[in-house]
Structure 1
Amino acid sequence: MESININQSIAKNAQFIEEIGIESGQPVQKCYQCGKCTAGCPVAFAMDYTPNQVIRMVQLGMKEELLKSETIWICASCSTCSTRCPCEVEIAHVMETLRIMAGRSGTAPAGKAKYVEVMYDALLGTVEKYGRTYEVGLVLNNNLKSGKLFNGADMGLPMFQKGKLQLMPSKVQGAAEIARIFAEVRKMEGGVK
């Protein structure tokens, strides 16, 4: 990270800082960088910025760096960080807000994070289309979009033989309600995807 003038950054990016607080509903300004969130994060080792660094970057208004970060996509949303925070900042909500903002701005994840987005989209796509996770469709969609066509293929037949996979998706009741929920979320996210 390059050096920045803190006062200039905060003044220049005050709208972004306020927007994160409002959209996430989190008091990010309360964070005093104790590091407990990062110490408990099970995926911090794979992140380009640790959870406490993300919160500090929000406090400094470092919008571009955050929206291009792999961290916001790698976050598992397990909320370990949130439960450990003495200031009661739910960092997982902040990460989700940053993902939504990245999507709205058209900022595509880079590096290994692009595969997380592909899986995320494939999972939500099957839930939207079928009302629940359809594993075969999920894997096929993910493999096609990631370019890893045979990823996990060795597990398919044994899982099918043990009755763990269904070739065809099952029908669910309330398909219209599921479609309404997805439409409402898209509206809240500003029309993303």
Structure 2
Amino acid sequence: MIPKPSLRKKIEELSGQKISACFQCEKCTNGCPVTFAMDVVPHRLMRMLQLGLLDEALRSDTIWVCASCETCTTRCPNDIDIAHVMDTLRQLSQREGIKTAQKSAPIFHSAFLSSLRRHGRVHEPEMAVVYTLRSGGLNGLRKQAGTGIAMFRRGKIKLLPPRVSAGRQVKNIFKKVKK
């Protein structure tokens, strides 16, 4: 674990957030509804980034457990968008192919964004099939098929994605983000 402060600047540039402004008040951590499931609580993750411990931050479960509810962002006295920093770390982790203990979380993240990109909103049945195939293969799909069929019969899920009036706008957002 060798600190590299230059990596903090990299994350500040990628996220557009001034991580160095965090003075460890812990308001983000105290307000977070999912800290019970995190291996590194939000203010500690921010400190890791300040010290340039990027590899450790990218390998943490925290970036995948974060619900992006923005409670941390709202509570931060220095206006750091911590939820956006978490999202930046998730994207960087996927881009660099970093393996985490939360093996299914990056798969879910990818399936979710893929469905959103294709349809302008999440189409749950498609996302569930993609996620299940990627995380559990055909055996996983076989195990979940009964639940899916029962939900379809009860009218809980639709086979076709709903029409979205802003679908083109969503696709344009993804194009801009990709640049």
Shorter chain as denominator, the TM-score bin is: 0.7 to 0.9
Superposition deviation, residue 169 in structure 1: 2.7
SS of 2:7's partner is: helix
Q: Pick one of 26, 31, 36 that aligns with 1:45.
A: 36
Superposition deviation, residue 132 in structure 1: 2.3
The amino acid across from 2:112 in the alignment is L
Aligned pair 1:180/2:153, yes or no?
no
CA 1:144 to 1:27, structure 2 compared with 1: closer, same or farther past 3 Å? same
Superposition deviation, residue 141 in structure 1: 0.8
SS of 2:155's partner is: coil
Distance in 1 between the 2:19 and 2:89 partners? 13
Aligned pair 1:25/2:16, yes or no?
yes
Query: 2:129 maps to which residue?
Result: 140
The amino acid across from 1:163 in the alignment is G
Structure 1 stretches of 5 or more lacking a match?
Answer: 188-193
Alignment of 1:34-113 (within 5 A): 34-108=25-99, 110-111=100-101, 113=102
Superposition deviation, residue 15 in structure 1: 2.3
Aligned pair 1:160/2:152, yes or no?
yes
Normalised TM-score (structure 1): 0.79
CA 1:99 to 1:154, structure 2 compared with 1: closer, same or farther past 3 Å? same
SS of 1:149's partner is: helix
Distance in 1 between the 2:170 and 2:159 partners? 22
Distance in 1 between the 2:30 and 2:152 partners? 39
CA 1:173 to 1:82, structure 2 compared with 1: closer, same or farther past 3 Å? closer
Q: CA RMSD in A?
A: 2.2
CA 1:96 to 1:157, structure 2 compared with 1: closer, same or farther past 3 Å? same
SS of 1:156's partner is: helix
Normalised TM-score (structure 2): 0.85
CA 1:70 to 1:164, structure 2 compared with 1: closer, same or farther past 3 Å? same
SS of 1:72's partner is: helix
Structure 2 stretches of 5 or more lacking a match?
Answer: none
1:38–1:52: 8 Å Cα contact kept in structure 2? yes
Provide, for residues 135-188 of structure 1, a one-character-per-residue CA deviation record: whole Å limited to 9, x for no partner: 21111111111103356555434432342211223444565544433232222x
The amino acid across from 1:35 in the alignment is E
Query: 1:122 maps to which residue?
Result: 111
SS of 1:86's partner is: coil
